[in-house]
Structure 1
Amino acid sequence: MTQAAMPQVLIVDDDRAMRASLVALLEAAGWRVEAVSRASRVAETLVTFAADVILSDVRMPGMSGLDLLATLQEAFNPPVVLISAHGDIPMAVKAIQDGAYSFVEKPCEPRRLLTILRHAADQHRMRRDTASLRRRLTQISGLDRMLLGQTPGIADLREQVLDVADSDAAVLLVGETGTGKERVARALHDLGRNPAGPFLALNCATLQPAVFEAEFFGVEGGQVGKLLAAEGGTLFLDEIGACPLPVQSKLLRVIEDKQVTPLGATRPVPLSFRVVSATNEDPDAAQSDGRLRPDFLFRVNTFVLALPTLRQRRADLALLMTHFLEEFASVYETVVPELTQDDMAALLAHDWPGNVRELRNVAERRILSARRGGGSVAAAMHKDHELDDVPDTLREAVAAFERELIGKAIRAHAGRMDAVAEALGIGRRTLNEKIVKLGLDKGALL
């Protein structure tokens, strides 16, 4: 374990033998330890020793452990675990009420003490790291905010975007579903030569060959072609591997000639736009399979930018999750829930097949759960694996959701229906009607 990774504890105890015993125990368990004999020395020690947790005796000459606790109420001071041979229930209750993380009586079982200290230190480090991430989020702007992350893969992508943004050359974005290809396309547009111009996004998988020319080139004396909306800006072609071959040939002609001829017209209409394309598959494989015309691919891949998956940038998980939680907390007007050690473990254990888009959805579900006073990241992630259980109709889905939500509220408030109605934001009469309509059995829920 590196020194930076070692948990750090500050021991405060006037008993020299006890201090020596605790130092030996904690150093043997892999902790960095500082020890002082007086609580009055804690403030000066914390200036040079960034303790993750303070283990303090209660009864000491001068400033007691409870007095020390009262001086350490600022948000980012380390948690305090109090230890005393004179402890009793009232003292323990008061200590917890005053903000102590935990209270342990001497003599204490070493394993239990180490567990309490480890949990306290982990919680403090998580809170401190989250605060650091929030400070970083308030400082970044522009491309750093659009393509958020600190890992080499995303940093390299930002550099490539800056390199090619001020160019009219075509760019092909290659990345798995959910890696943010449209966001990169918009970054290229916003940093390009005409950010005030239009940004026209087309999903190539939905383009129909039979009506493509009429819809996108226009009809003389009739409808205006949609491609004209890209004049002076950026044309974003998403999912080019799913583009019908006849449409590819027509798009190729437009890209090469920089003009379109509406149906029934004799004179072409000049067009000027930058082409940015995207695909979630290997473009060379799509070409080999005959799904992507070689000449079309040649026209759209002057520059190729590869987008990293979320699996390749796990170190960005905390930063991204914090960003999305704050974004949705603002949208839903609620408090940002703290990322716990269990939350981070759940984030790191997942493979993220849906990449950043999946993470964003998890963050939104976490915020919605937080509004109801509960939830966790693991629970929010679990929703992704319940798609097979979604009812066939919207009415059934709404009923299933209401049934689950009301059931949880009844259990959470131990059947107190006034509290349940208040938590759900509905009237008591409406709640009763829904319980009857949904066939809920209050007794079975409790």
Structure 2
Amino acid sequence: MTPEARLRILVVDDDRAMLRSLVDLLEAADWCVETLSRADRVLSTLERFEADVVLSDVRMPGMSGLDLLAAVRAVSDIPLVLISAHGDIPMAVSAMQDGAYSFIEKPYDPRRLLSVVRNAGERNRIQCSNARLRKRLLELSGLDRILIGNTPAILKLRQSILSLADSAASILLLGETGTGKDVVARALHDIGPFAERPFVAVNCALLTPERFTAEMFGVAGGPPGKVQQADGGTLFLDEICACPPEIQARFLRVLEDSAVTPDGGDRSHPVNLRIICATNEDIEKAVSQQRFREDLYFRINTVSLMLPPLRERRDDLQPLLMHFLEKLAPAYEVATPSITSDDLAALLAHDWPGNVRELRSVAQRRLIAARLGHGTISEAINPQVIPEALPTTLREAVAALERDMISRAIQSHAGRMDDVAEALGIGRRTLNEKIVKLGLEKERLI
């Protein structure tokens, strides 16, 4: 066995004869052994000796084995096995409740001791391997750069994504508008077994009832619908509650049959999909109001993830803002603005109804102001829209406001129309129609 593969154990006992006996036994079983005669040196020793398990006597001068257990548990999950000639059942039960892996009485049975410490060491190896894998997945997936923050809610969400990435179960993402449900859906796809397969996203709220069937299921003789396009990969249905009732029934059949039949066709096509759905509505309320089928709800809700609103992640506001400022500053050809105490106060005072999406827009407005040599976060949160001339009718006022907002968004996103539509909360087709109607010239705005 290579030195790296050998299990490593730290043995603590003030009895030299007992210590020598334990070392002989463990080394004969091909363990890498480190010894100490005092428990108060264990934590410093573990910093240089990466043990898989600690085996410690209970009765020792100074720090006892039970005291050592408390000290180790405060900083590490390494298995600790206690051994004592003075142990009794109450002591063993108490030690196990306090986190000891096992308790062995002297004189010990060599086979039992080896069995206990080997199981403890192998379990620790597996846990450490899983921890390294989760860390590596986190680095590879960029989850820590996508879902930025260290509040408990966002840490739990990142771990849930890593845990669910390999699962083929249907997942329902819940949360307010702008919390990043589309980002989570994409992350679930990218770090799972479907990463090399298609990821097809459909915003159900942007499809008209007339076009829904053809878009989702396709038309015989025409291009495949979204369901077929996602075959072998992931189909992400955003705003699932906006799905018309007749489409819900047909989509349920697709899930039950694992097959789709295009409109006007007589032949079904087998599909193998991972389904991820998202909604900012109270879907259970939609079910009770019979706007959403209960059987479909149960089918898509194998696992649900709740995305926290930004107002519940106030400790994440500053790192999130700095992330957006640093990421977007090169596009605006400005240095990343610093965050003042007044800026931080403005961040914390705002309720962020638009969540992370709103914060990104605030960062963009702050960078636009920086190009002009001024600006604060407070001004970016509350931009003042002052029309050149006061409209005389409500229609003119609405048109002026739309013209101003769309113009600002086009400038903020450097003409990237998909980003402009997302920032304004409208569909790309609606955006194009408004640009034509309002007589805007995109080229002159960029």
What TM-score do you get using the length of structure 1 for normalisation?
Answer: 0.55
What is aligned with 1:156? Answer: 156
Instruction: Give the paired residue count.
Output: 265
Match runs of 1:289-300 below 5 Å: 289-300=289-300
Deviations 1:187-217 (A, max 9, x none): 1001111212111111112334444333332
Q: Match of 2:180, as an amino acid? A: G
Distance between the aligned counterparts of 2:282 and 2:376, measured in 1? 36
Please, which runs of 5 or more residues in structure 1 have no aligned partner? Answer: 1-138, 406-446
What is aligned with 1:367? Answer: 367
Greater mean alpha carbon deviation, residues 279-288 or residues 314-323: 279-288
Deviations 1:205-244 (A, max 9, x none): 2334444333332222234323221112111111112221
Q: Match of 1:351, as an amino acid? A: D
Q: 2:399 aligns with which of 393, 401, 404?
A: 393
Name the SS for the 1:393 alignment partner.
helix
Q: Is the 8 A contact 1:242 1:291 kept in 2?
A: no
Go from structure 1 to structure 2 and tell me whether the alpha carbon gap of 1:356 and 1:256 turns closer, same or farther (over 3 Å shift).
same
Deviations 1:234-275 (A, max 9, x none): 111111122211111111111221111123322211111110
Match runs of 1:350-365 below 5 Å: 350-365=350-365
Distance between the aligned counterparts of 1:367 and 1:143, measured in 2? 25
Q: Match of 1:379, as an amino acid? A: E
Match runs of 1:116-127 below 5 Å: none
Distance between the aligned counterparts of 2:140 and 2:232, measured in 1? 29
Deviations 1:93-143 (A, max 9, x none): xxxxxxxxxxxxxxxxxxxxxxxxxxxxxxxxxxxxxxxxxxxxxx99711
Go from structure 1 to structure 2 and tell me whether the alpha carbon gap of 1:384 and 1:362 turns closer, same or farther (over 3 Å shift).
farther
What is aligned with 1:316? Answer: 316
Name the SS for the 2:202 alignment partner.
strand
Q: Is the 8 A contact 1:209 1:246 kept in 2?
A: no
Go from structure 1 to structure 2 and tell me whether the alpha carbon gap of 1:221 and 1:156 turns closer, same or farther (over 3 Å shift).
same
Q: Match of 1:330, as an amino acid? A: P
Distance between the aligned counterparts of 1:275 and 1:283, measured in 2? 17
Q: Is the 8 A contact 1:391 1:397 kept in 2?
A: no
Name the SS for the 1:369 alignment partner.
helix
Q: Is 2:146 the counterpart of 1:146?
A: yes
Q: Is the 8 A contact 1:366 1:380 kept in 2?
A: yes
How far did residue 363 of structure 1 move?
A: 0.4
What is aligned with 2:343? Answer: 343
Distance between the aligned counterparts of 2:246 and 2:262, measured in 1? 17
What is aligned with 1:271? Answer: 271
Q: Is 2:205 the counterpart of 1:205?
A: yes
What is aligned with 2:73? Answer: none
Identity %: 52
What is aligned with 2:62? Answer: none
Distance between the aligned counterparts of 1:396 and 1:209, measured in 2? 26
What is aligned with 1:255? Answer: 255
Go from structure 1 to structure 2 and tell me whether the alpha carbon gap of 1:298 and 1:336 turns closer, same or farther (over 3 Å shift).
same
How far did residue 147 of structure 1 move?
A: 1.0
Go from structure 1 to structure 2 and tell me whether the alpha carbon gap of 1:386 and 1:244 turns closer, same or farther (over 3 Å shift).
farther
What is aligned with 2:242? Answer: 242
What is aligned with 1:166? Answer: 166
Go from structure 1 to structure 2 and tell me whether the alpha carbon gap of 1:193 and 1:385 turns closer, same or farther (over 3 Å shift).
farther
Distance between the aligned counterparts of 2:338 and 2:181, measured in 1? 29
Distance between the aligned counterparts of 2:149 and 2:402, measured in 1? 40
Q: Is 2:233 the counterpart of 1:233?
A: yes
Name the SS for the 1:263 alignment partner.
coil
Go from structure 1 to structure 2 and tell me whether the alpha carbon gap of 1:384 and 1:348 turns closer, same or farther (over 3 Å shift).
farther
Q: Is the 8 A contact 2:141 2:191 kept in 1?
A: no
Distance between the aligned counterparts of 2:406 and 2:225, measured in 1? 44
Q: Match of 1:241, as an amino acid? A: C
Deviations 1:305-348 (A, max 9, x none): 00011111100011000000001102212100110000000000
Distance between the aligned counterparts of 1:381 and 1:253, measured in 2? 46
Distance between the aligned counterparts of 2:362 and 2:384, measured in 1? 8
Q: Match of 2:166, as an amino acid? A: D
What is aligned with 1:189? Answer: 189
Go from structure 1 to structure 2 and tell me whether the alpha carbon gap of 1:384 and 1:355 turns closer, same or farther (over 3 Å shift).
farther
Q: Match of 2:349, as an amino acid? A: A
Q: Is the 8 A contact 1:208 1:244 kept in 2?
A: no
How far did residue 167 of structure 1 move?
A: 0.8
Distance between the aligned counterparts of 1:197 and 1:179, measured in 2? 26
Distance between the aligned counterparts of 1:385 and 1:156, measured in 2? 39
Name the SS for the 1:193 alignment partner.
coil
What is aligned with 2:283? Answer: 283
How big is the alpha-carbon RMSD for the aligned residues of Structure 1 and Structure 2? 2.9
What is aligned with 1:65? Answer: none
